[in-house]
A and B are shown apart, each in its own frame.
Chain A
Amino acid sequence: MSQIKTLLVFIIFSAPLMGEVIGEFSFDNRYFFNEGAQGQKQNHSSFSISPEIFFEEDKRIFHFKPKLRKDNEDPERNLVDVQELYLLEILEDREIKYGISKEFWGVTETSHRVDIINQTDSSESFDGEDKLGQPMVKISFERDWGLLDIYALIGFRERTFVGQNGRLRLPIVTDTDNPSYASSAKTARIDFAMRWANYFDNFEIAVSHFSGTSREPRFLPSPKKLNQIAPHYEVIDQSSIEMQYFLGSLALKGEIISRSGQGDRFSAATYGFEYTQVGILDSRLDLGWVVEANHDDRLKSSPAVLGTRLIMNDISDTQILSGFIYDERSEEIGFLLEATRRLGDCCLVSVEGMYFDDINEDNNEKKLFSPFKEDDFLRMEFIYYFGD
C-alpha cells in the first residue's frame, strides 16, 4: 500500500503543473451463486482508481495513467500498474514514443491472438482484454506504402493470475512468486517487434513479427511451493497476419499466428464475421452480430463464439452485449450477458452475468469449463469519472 500512497502523492502534487487531471474510480462486485470449487467465498468486491494526465502541445504529447486496484478477497488481484507514462514526439517523417504504453494489434472481437506487445492482466478479468503497461521505444513511419511500427520492448512484465482465494481459477494455484525464464536476462531482456499495416479500399492487412519473451507462459511445478504451478516464460518468435474485408455492412475478419520457441512450432487462428443491422424493426435500435471460430494447434477443440450487441441509441447509450461460446468437442457452453448504461454525465453502470454448462456429462473429451462449473456469477460495476 505504500506504493499506492507514493503514487497518489505524486499525482496530486504534479497535477496542477501538468495540465488537466481526469480519471475514473470504479467499484466492482461479483456475486457467485455457489461456493467456489476450492471453498472460495461467494461475494468478491474490488475497487480501482485510475487518474490520467494528458498534455499536448504542438508536436509533443505527454500521457500519464497509473492504475491501482484493491480486492477484498484475493491479494493476487491487488495491482499497482503504470498503464501509460510516455512522451510522444511527432517529427516530420516519423513518430517516436518513449516510455510505458499500451498498444493493440488485431482485428477480431472474441479473441486477440496477434495482440502481443502488452502482458495480460488476467486477474482483472478472465476475458484477457485487460493489459499491463509495457516500457518501450517505438518508432512509427507512415508512408504511401503503409504504416510501419518498430518496437524495442525494454523489460518484461509478468502475467497476473487469480490467487488461492480468487475465482475463475484452475484447481491448482499459480505461484507467481517463482516464475522462471528461458532467457538468462530474465525480466531485463530487450524484445523486438514490428508491424506493417495498410489498406486498399475495402481490404485491410497487417503483418507483424515479435521476437522475445512469451507473454503467455507454460507451467512447471513450482520449485518452492508444493502442489502449485509456476509460470515458465520462454523466448519465442511469433509471426502473424491480420486481415479484414468489408462488403457492405458485413466485415470478414481473420488473424493467424505461427509461433516457435515453446516446443514444436504451432499455429493458431481466429476468423469470422461481423454484421450490423441498423434500425431493426424500424426502430432506433442497432443490432450487431459477431460469429468467430477459434483454432489452436495445441488444443483438440475449436470453440466457436456467437456475440450480439444491441445498441439502444438513447441518451444514456444503453447497450446489451451477449456472448455464447460453444465447444463442439466437449459439448460445453458458456453464456455471458452484459448491459451498460451511462448515468448522468459522471458515471457508467454495468451489470454482467456469466453462466457455464456442460450439456453432455457423458462426453469424455477434455472439458474446457469444468474448473469453472461452480463459478456462475452476477457482476455489477459502477464507474465514476472525476476531473473535467
Chain B
Amino acid sequence: MSRLHFFLYKRSIFLFFYVVLFALSGEISANKGLEIAELSDKNNEGYIDSSSSMVMQLINKKGDIVERKLSFKRLEVPEDGDKSIAIFESPRDVKGVAILSYAHKVDSDDQWLYLPALKRVKRIASKNKSGPFLGSEFSFEDFSFQEVEKYEYKFIGEEACLNLTCYLIERRPLDPYSGYTKQLVWIDKDNYLVQKIHHYDRKSFHLKTQTFEEYKLYEGFFWQPHKVMMMNHQNGKSSVLKFQDVKLNNGFTDKDFSQNSLRRSR
C-alpha cells in the first residue's frame, strides 16, 4: 500500500470511528469541540510535502493595496509539528530573507531567520509570535501551524456560515505567549474545513476576523484554501493571502528544511 493510500485508508477509519462515536454520544459531548478540531486537522494530514507561492496584499483603510510575494515550502513531520520555509521575493529590500520554522505539537516552535545581506542565520526567540508578520494584519502565530494540542476546546453549537452549516467551537490557546485569549472557529459539517475564525486579543476584544475561501482538493484528500483574509476591526486594515501553484509530493526531505538549506536561499 502506498503511503498516500495508507493515509486515505487511515482517514476513512478515523471518520468511521468518529461517526460511530458521535452517534453514541448524542448531542452534547464535553469533548465534542476537540473531536471536531481533530477531524478538521485530519484535512492537513498525509500531504507529505507541499510548495506554493503566496501573494500577500496589505490593504489600508482607504483601500490602497501593497503587495508582498513569498514562496513557501512545507514538510510533514509525523508525530510532531511540520517544518516550513518561507522565502521573501518582494519587496526588494527583503528579497532572499527566509524564515525556517519547526512547529511542535506542544513545545513552542523553533525559528531561524536568514539575512542574505549579512549571510547570517539567526535564531529567533519564537515566543515572540504575537507580532505582525511583514507589516500585515497576520501575526506570526496566524502563520504557524495550529496544532490541535496547542488549544483547549469547547463546543458551542451549529450555525449557518455562508451557504454551509458549520460547527462553532471555541478554543483557548494554552501557550501563555499567544496574542489571543480565545478564538471562535467555524468548521463546516461537510468537509470539516475551517471557514472563519474570530480572534480575541488579550483584553478579550474581538480584534480580527479571518476567513478562508476558495478551498481546492488536492490528490483527493488534501484541502487547501487559496484565499485567506484577515480583517482587523481595530485599525480598519486588512490583509489577503493568495496561494498559487500549490504542488504536493515535491520529494522534499529533512535536508531541504535544515539551517544549512537556509543559507542557500541567496
B154 part of interface (Cβ distance < 8 Å)? no
Partner among A244, A249, A279, A315 whose Cβ is within 8 Å of the Cβ of B127: A249
Number of B residues whose C-beta is below 8 Å from A? 31
Which segment, of A208-216, A329-337, A341-349, faces chain B?
Answer: A341-349
Binding-face segment, B33-41, B118-126, B181-189, B210-218: B118-126
**Contact A104 B120, beta carbon cutoff 8 Å:** yes
Q: B66 near A: Cβ within 8 Å?
A: yes
Which residues in B have their C-beta under 8 angstroms from that of A383? Answer: 93
Residues of A within 8 A of B120 (CB): 104
Hey, what's the 0/1 contact readout for A186-207 against B, CB within 8 Å counting as 1?
A: 0000000000010100001000
Contact B93 A315 (CB under 8 A): no
The answer to whether A342 touches B91 (Cβ under 8 A) is: yes
Q: Which residues of chain B are near A311, meaning CB under 8 Å?
A: 131
Contact indicator B118/A279 (Cβ below 8 Å): no
Q: Which of B90, B123, B177, B179 contacts A204 (CB 8 A)?
A: B123
A63 to B265, CA, bound (A): 11
A315/B66 contact (C-beta < 8 A), A54-B266, A104-B119, A248-B127 known: yes
Residue among B66, B91, B128, B258 making CB contact with A249, cutoff 8 Å = B128
B237 nearest CB across to chain A (Å): 9
Tell me how far the C-beta of B238 lies from the nearest C-beta in chain A, rounded to whole angstroms. Answer: 13
Query: Would you call B177 and A248 a contact (CB within 8 A)?
Result: yes
Contacts A142-B258, A345-B90: A246 and B266 contacting too (C-beta < 8 A)? no
Quick check: B135 and A251 within 8 Å, CB to CB?
no
CB interface residues, B 106-156, toward A, < 8 Å? 118-121, 123, 125, 127-132, 135
A63 near B123 (CB under 8 angstroms)?
no
| B105 / chain A contacts, CB cutoff of 8 Å | none
Q: Is the CB of B130 within 8 A of A315?
A: no
Assembled-state Cα–Cα distance A276/B90 (Å): 25
B191 beta carbon closer than 8 Å to chain A: no
For the complex, give the distance between the alpha carbons of A197 and B263 in Å.
14
- Residue B260 interfacial (CB < 8 Å): yes
A positions within 8 Å CB-CB of B: 22, 24, 54, 61, 63, 88, 90, 95, 102-104, 129, 140, 142, 147, 197, 199, 204, 244, 246, 248-251, 274, 276, 278-279, 282, 284, 286, 311, 313-317, 342, 345-346, 348, 383, 385
Q: In the A-B complex, list the 7 residue pairs whose CB atoms are closest, starting with the nearest.
A: A385-B92, A313-B132, A104-B119, A104-B120, A278-B131, A348-B93, A278-B128
Q: List 30 A-B contacts (CB under 8 A).
A: A22-B95, A61-B264, A88-B264, A104-B120, A129-B118, A140-B260, A142-B258, A147-B259, A147-B260, A204-B123, A246-B123, A246-B125, A248-B127, A249-B127, A249-B128, A251-B123, A251-B125, A276-B128, A279-B130, A279-B131, A286-B128, A313-B135, A315-B60, A317-B135, A342-B91, A342-B93, A345-B66, A345-B92, A348-B93, A385-B93
